[in-house]
Structure 1
Amino acid sequence: MVARVRSGDLDAYAELVNSHAPMAVRTAALLGAGADAEDVVQEAFVKAYRSLGRYRDGAAFRPWLLRIVANETRNHHRSAVRRGARERADFLPPALLDPADEVADRERKEQLLAAVAGLPDRLRTVVTCRYLLELDEAETATTLGLPRGTVKSRLNRGLARLRADLVTPGREADRV
């Protein structure tokens, strides 16, 4: 499909956008764009379109696109800081949640999301990509522009912190 887009087929580009937009919006929201996730994704798709000449044939498109989304999300944060109007990025629009999550205990889910949000950025982004966006280690590494070993070590540290933060009295057996 990317080859069709490169040749100027705008319908193919529309298909590409439609198939990847939901995951891109979830990625932007979970990495900190919050209410601005759709704006960040729109800008990411514009940049991706302009950068298709640098897309490596045969490479997976989704991690390549999500890396652009992650970079755009970081750019959004930098811009907000420079303007002095950075908001706490703990907004997750209900429409972006997976319907299967409705079955999960709401309170426990809120605790988990709060604990993830409380992680340092370098750990939070890796845990978010790997477990909330369900990317594998290689896709997480590509999306964040990190070596795979760094992803593994940050996942290990992030999960250890989450375990420690989420253990409640009387549930010490949950520690693994």
Structure 2
Amino acid sequence: MRTREGGHAVVADEAEVIARVRAGDIQAYAWLVRAYTGTALRTAAAFGAGAEAEDVVQAAFFKAYRALSRFREGASFRSWLLRIVVNETRNTVRSAVRLRSATGREAALTEAEPLIPDSADPAVAAIDDERRKQLLAALDRLSAEQRLVVTYRYLLDMNEAETAEALGWPRGTVKSRLNRGLKKLGQLLPPQEGGRECGPDGDPEGSEEGAWG
């Protein structure tokens, strides 16, 4: 029932599995849970759930199951689920002044799954620990919308269409906010060795998306 796509597990035929769940096959929903738990944990960690990530994900899967009758046929279950995970994470940390610090998110992300997905460019995967800390600190200085879109698109390894669906934004909005976010990251991050001004992916600033895409 599962395949690999873009470095993460996906259900081969989501529509069929969801139809079976709606017909009362609880085991079919267990396949969805197994397929997307890793990505859901990484999402919760990225948005500040910290030690509560597992509880957040469990609650999100339960809410998704309860709301499955409202799931739009033909949509991506993964994107829909991650939107629920993000909302649940926000509810969990709402009393905090802000989401976890960059250092805290880094530790949580490392525990959940590798920060840089296997599908990323090798140059990105080679970023050292210090560079990663700088990146997460810089993310905290973006606007909320820019931080959301950069996190979905690159830290969670979602393509443009999935990001648009998860955020409920038009694809043009995703692209424009992503470009502005990457440009600001390029200004915030120190240049790499060699003295050239670089974007967050290590490429010379000015590339539209760089090696993260």
Normalising by structure 1, report the TM-score.
0.86
1:165 pairs with 176, 188, 191, which one?
188
Aligned residues: 172
After alignment, is 150-159 or 113-122 more displaced?
113-122
The structure where helix makes up a greater share of residues is: 1
After alignment, is 10-19 or 31-40 more displaced?
31-40
Q: How do 1:1-176 and structure 2 match up within 5 A?
A: 1-78=17-94, 80-81=95-96, 88-90=100-102, 91-92=104-105, 93=108, 94-98=110-114, 103-168=126-191, 171-174=195-198, 175-176=205-206
Closer/same/farther in 2, CA of residues 25 and 130 from structure 1, 3 Å limit: same
**Share of identical aligned residues, percent?**
55
Structure 2 residue runs without a partner (length 5+): 1-16, 119-123, 199-204, 207-213
Aligned equivalents of 2:134 and 2:149: distance in 1? 18
Residues 111-133 of structure 1, C-alpha deviation per residue, up to 9 Å, x if partnerless?
Answer: 11221133222211110000111
Q: What SS class does the counterpart of residue 32 from structure 1 fall into?
A: coil
Note the C-alpha offset of 1:89. Answer: 4.5
**Structure with higher RCO (Cα < 8 A, 6+ apart):** 1
Residues 94-152 of structure 1, C-alpha deviation per residue, up to 9 Å, x if partnerless?
Answer: 22232858753111111112211332222111100001111111111111122222211
CA RMSD of the aligned region, Å? 2.3
> Which 4+ stretches in 1 moved above 4 angstroms?
99-103
Normalising by structure 2, report the TM-score.
0.72
AA paired with 2:46? L
After alignment, is 123-132 or 4-13 more displaced?
4-13
